[in-house]
Copies of this chain bind each other. A is one copy, B any other.
Amino acid sequence: MSTALSAIERFSRYQSDDAQSVEPVHCPVRDVLDCIGDKWSILMIMTLATRPHRFSELRRAIRDISKRMLTQTLRDLERDGLITRHVFPTKPPSVEYRLAPLGQTLLEPMANLIDWADRRYSEIHAARASYDGAPGDVPR
Contacts and interface: CB of A to CB of B under 8 A. Distances in A.
Interface of A: 1-12, 15, 17, 23, 28-29, 31-33, 35, 37-39, 42-43, 46-47, 49-50, 60-63, 78-82, 102, 104-118, 120-121, 123-124, 126-128, 131-132
B32 A111 contact: no
Contacts of A111: 4-8
Q: Is chain A's binding surface mostly helix, strand, loop or mixed?
A: helix
A116 B109 contact: yes
How many copies of this chain? 2
By CB atoms of chain B within 10 A, which of A6, A17, A117 has the most? A117
Contacts of A124: 31, 35, 80-82, 102
A74 to B, nearest CB: 12
